[in-house]
Amino acid sequence: MDSLRGQLGWNQPLSIGGVVGRWREVVGDQIADHCAPETFDEGALVVRADSTAWATQIRLLLPQLERRLVEEVGEGVVTSIQVLGPGGPSWRKGPRSVRGRGPRDTYG
């Protein structure tokens, strides 16, 4: 199977699929409870935290997280990690919104 994976060029996608599927094992229970991988595209891993405080904490732990990912998937597979906080409410809809204007116009 290893030689077939190499011949077909599946090493990197399988490695990332393994990390996303085993996220809790890779990062640990505490981080996995508050942070999950959102996307992975061309070496860039996007991770979303469930609070702003946890997003800050994950940013502080990025060197350790990068080291752990290198151990799991190999050097050069994950080239960057972006940590996002929780998604906020959308102000684009509602009775007081104006097309083409920002949230400052939501309240009239």
Strands 80-84 and 35-41: unpaired
> What would the two tokens of residue 28 be?
């640990």
The whole-angstrom separation of Cα 48 and Cα 51 is: 9
- DSSP assigned state of 54: H
- Does 100 fall in a domain? no
Number of domains in the chain: 1
- Does 95 fall in a domain? no
Convert the pLDDT of each residue in 46-98 to its tens digit: 999 999 999 999 999 999 999 988 888 778 878 899 999 988 766 666 666 66
pTM: 0.66
- DSSP assigned state of 2: H
- Does 70 fall in a domain? yes
